[in-house]
């Protein structure tokens, strides 16, 4: 029996309705639909019947061939947690705002059904980061992220004092609102809002971007995926908070050390069809490209 897990933004009525229609199409093709115990009531109201209920949490997608998400990027990040440790890919249907991680929109649902039933989707491996927090030489927390790990100030009225280190060597000390350690996948998320560069997802690299740093040198850094990024919380009253993908938090008392390295596991994103990342940027950010004279027939002859 083929199994597909649904993950839904249950607070959006449109999401549950679209998911219910998708579930009915799969059921008609003899594919079993799995739903989370935290979402089953909302989906039943929307019309989902005969679904297999699984416990929500890390690894919930075990035994499924695919997790299909109905929501925005936040719901897709939650689905990545459900697939953690299972190698099950995630296919996002955007019902949010930008939806940069999503592969399809509601208008594409017939294509989504066809590709899922026929198993003609492709899968991309996306780099993640593993994060550890050390206090007084003892590891007190570990976590991971697909988009970014951010160290942020705990108190609005006080700057966060940090020392940044790359590969066991100090780089600079800043007073700031925080710092973002991002993956190429996360370069269009918090990293982008903080002024960091957009990095094509197939590039293997780690990014570090200060947030509102009070310093002469506080530029974004792009380093090797084999590097270790470290942030130490210093100063007399400086405390912070570690956020992973904006979903999982850990307190950072004075003297905390946060280390960020390339993740041991990847996140697998399902794609309906090959597409240029440049085209995705233009479409998602509604970038102006009128007047472009490109194409195979345009070679810019005669330009000096």
Q: Say if residues 23 and 34 touch (Cβ distance below 8 Å).
A: no
255-273: burial string, b at 16+ Cβ within 10 Å, e else = ebbbbbbbbeeebbbbebe
pLDDT score at 296: 52
Strand order in the sheet with 229-233: 138-145, 129-135, 257-262, 229-233, 160-166, 169-176
Q: Which of 73-77, 98-102, 149-153 has the lowest mean pLDDT?
A: 98-102
pLDDT score at 293: 86
Say if residue 211's pLDDT is above 70. yes
Q: Say if residues 261 and 229 touch (Cβ distance below 8 Å).
A: yes
- Distance (Å, rounded) from C-alpha 253 to C-alpha 159? 14
pLDDT average, residue stretch 139-168: 95
**Residue holding tokens 């208008």?**
107
pLDDT score at 237: 82
Confidence at 157, pLDDT banded by 50, 70, 90: confident
Q: Say if residues 249 and 234 touch (Cβ distance below 8 Å).
A: no
Residue 180 φ/ψ, nearest 5 degrees: -110, 130
Helix (H) or strand (E) holding 297: none
pLDDT score at 158: 87
Active-site entry in 37, 41, 73, 177:
73
105 belongs to the catalytic site:
no
Confidence at 236, pLDDT banded by 50, 70, 90: confident
pLDDT average, residue stretch 253-279: 94
- Distance (Å, rounded) from C-alpha 106 to C-alpha 223? 37
First to last CA, the chain: 63
Domains in the chain with CATH codes: 3-126+267-285 (3.40.50.10330), 129-262 (2.60.200.30)
What percentage of the chain carries pLDDT values higher than 90? 84
- Distance (Å, rounded) from C-alpha 258 to C-alpha 281? 31
């Amino acid at each position: 029996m083929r199994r597909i897990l649904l993950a839904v933004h249950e607070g959006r009525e449109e999401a549950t309705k679209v998911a219910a229609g998708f579930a009915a199409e799969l059921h008609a093709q003899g594919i079993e639909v799995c739903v989370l115990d935290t979402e089953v009531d909302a989906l039943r109201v929307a019309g989902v019947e005969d679904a297999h209920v699984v416990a929500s949490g890390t690894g919930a997608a075990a035994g499924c061939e695919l997790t299909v998400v109905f929501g925005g990027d936040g719901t897709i990040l939650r689905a990545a947690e459900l697939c953690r440790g299972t190698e099950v890919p995630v296919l996002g249907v955007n019902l949010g705002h930008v939806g940069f991680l999503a592969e399809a929109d509601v208008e594409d649902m017939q294509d989504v059904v066809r590709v899922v039933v026929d198993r003609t989707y492709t899968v991309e491996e996306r780099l993640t980061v593993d994060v550890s927090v050390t206090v007084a030489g003892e590891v007190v927390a570990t976590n991971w992220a697909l988009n970014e790990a951010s160290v942020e100030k705990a108190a609005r009225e006080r700057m966060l004092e940090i020392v940044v280190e790359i590969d066991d060597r100090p780089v600079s000390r800043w007073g700031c609102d925080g710092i973002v350690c991002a993956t190429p996948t996360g370069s269009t998320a918090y990293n982008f809002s903080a002024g960091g560069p957009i990095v094509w997802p197939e590039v293997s690299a780690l990014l570090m971007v200060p947030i509102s740093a009070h310093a002469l040198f506080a530029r974004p850094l792009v380093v090797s995926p084999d590097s270790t990024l470290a942030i130490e919380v210093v100063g007399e009253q400086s405390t912070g908070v570690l956020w992973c993908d904006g979903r999982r938090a850990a307190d950072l008392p004075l003297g905390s050390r946060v280390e960020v390295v390339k993740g041991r596991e990847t996140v697998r994103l399902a794609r309906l069809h090959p597409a240029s990342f440049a085209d995705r940027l233009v479409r998602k950010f509604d970038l102006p490209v009128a007047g472009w004279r490109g194409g195979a027939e345009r070679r810019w002859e005669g330009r000096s």
